[in-house]
Amino acid sequence: MNRERAAALGREPHGSSDDPDLLDFSANANPEVPDGVERAYRAAFETARTYPPEPPEAFRAAAAEYVGCDPESVVPTPGGLAAIRAAVALAVDDGDTALLPAPSFGEYAREVRLQGGDPAFVDAERVLDADPSGHALAVVCTPNNPTGTGYDRESLLSFAARCRAAGTVLLVDEAFLGFTERESVAGTEGVVVARALTKLFGLPGLRTGFAVGVGDLGAALRGARRAWNVSAPALATGEYCLRQGGFVRETRERVRRERGRLRAALTDAGYAVAPSEAPFLLLDVGDRDIDRVIGRARERGVAVRDARTFRGLDSHVRVAVRRPAENDRLLAALDAGDGSDGDGEGNDGSGGEGGDGNRGAAADV
C-alpha cells in the first residue's frame, strides 16, 4: 500500500445517524439482536484477560456450519470490510483493473485504489453477464447494496467458473445474504466470500466477520491474517449469534413481510421502488425535490440515506426495513400514509424464497 496514495484517498460516505432524536432508516442493520447475546458478551469478559485462541477453532466451526463450508476455509476478520480488504489486497497490484458493480458499496473501489488498481464499473444489474477477462478481481454483492438485487446461485457459480478460466479472483460480498433463503457460494474454488455479523445480527460495533477461501487462495488468506485479529469477546459473541437459527428465521419473515408492505405503500404514494431481497429499499423520488424529501423526513424525526452518494444515482434515497411501528413512522415521514392496509404479501418482487427476484433497479452511468 502506497503512503501518498493512502493519504490522498478520502472516506466513503455511509448511512447511520448518531442523532438520538432521529429514528434511523439510513443504516441497514437489524434493529433486533438475538435473545441472550448480551449475556454471551458479558460472559466472555474473562476470556479477554488472555490472548484469543489461535486459530479460533470454535468460531471457525460455527461460521463453517452457518455457510456450509469446511472450517479450515474460514478466516475470522474484524468485520466484513476487513474480509473485503484482505481479498482485494491479495488480488490487486499496481496497474491492475477490477470489475466492480455500480451502483454498489463504495468501499470496493476505495480498496482497489488503495492497492494501486483501477476500478472498471459495470451495471450492477448485469454484472454476471460481464467479461472478467483481463481483470485481476471481480466483485459481486448479493443482495446488492443499494439496489437490493439478489443473484441466482447457478448464475453466480457460472460467473465464478468464467472468472477461474480468466484467472480472475471473484469476491462475493454476502453481507446481506442471511436475510434471504439463498445458499452461500462459500467453498467455491477461486472465490473469496466475505460475511459480517453487522447486518443480520444487529451488531455493527462488535466488528466480527469472516472470509472463506479454498485452495491457494484460502492458504493466502490464512497466511496474511494477523494473529489475534479478532477479540476474544467478539469471537465468543459471534459464535453464539451464528448458532441462533430461530432468530434468523424470524428475522427473514419479518423483513419479507414488512418490505412488501413498505414497497406497496411507497409505490402507491408515487415513489418508484426497486424490487429488493435485502433489508432495505431503493426509492426514486421522481419529480420531488430530493433535498426536500430528506429534509422533511428529518423534520419528522426520521433519517433516510441520501443515495446520491452511490455511483449513477441522482434522485434516490435508500430506506431500511425496521419494525412495523417504526416503518409506519417512515411512511408518514415520506407522505406515504400509515401503510396499514394489507400485509404486503407478494409485493416485494423477491420471487419468493430463493427466487432470483427482478433486476429492474437503478442503472449505472
What is residue 210's predicted lDDT score, i.e. its pLDDT?
97
What is residue 337's predicted lDDT score, i.e. its pLDDT?
74
152-211, pLDDT tens digit by residue? 999 999 999 999 999 999 999 999 999 999 999 999 999 999 999 999 999 999 999 999
d(CA 121, CA 353): 30
d(CA 290, CA 278): 23
**How many other C-beta atoms lie within 10 A of the C-beta of residue 287?**
6
Q: Which three cell numbers stand for residue 344?
A: 404486503
d(CA 169, CA 194): 13
d(CA 338, CA 327): 8
227-260, pLDDT tens digit by residue? 999 999 999 999 999 999 999 999 999 999 999 9
3-state secondary structure of 187: coil
**Which domains, and CATH codes, for the chain?**
35-244 (3.40.640.10)
Q: Which three cell numbers stand for residue 148?
A: 437490493
What is residue 20's predicted lDDT score, i.e. its pLDDT?
77
Identify the sign of the CA torsion 10, 16, 21, 23. positive
Q: What is the block-wise mean pLDDT of the chain (365 residues), using blocks of 10 residues? A: 78 68 93 96 90 93 97 97 97 97 96 97 97 98 97 96 98 97 97 96 94 97 94 96 98 98 97 97 97 96 96 96 97 79 42 35 31
**Three-point CA angle 99, 282, 238, nearest 5°:** 70
Contact status, residue 325 vs residue 287, Cβ threshold 8 Å: no
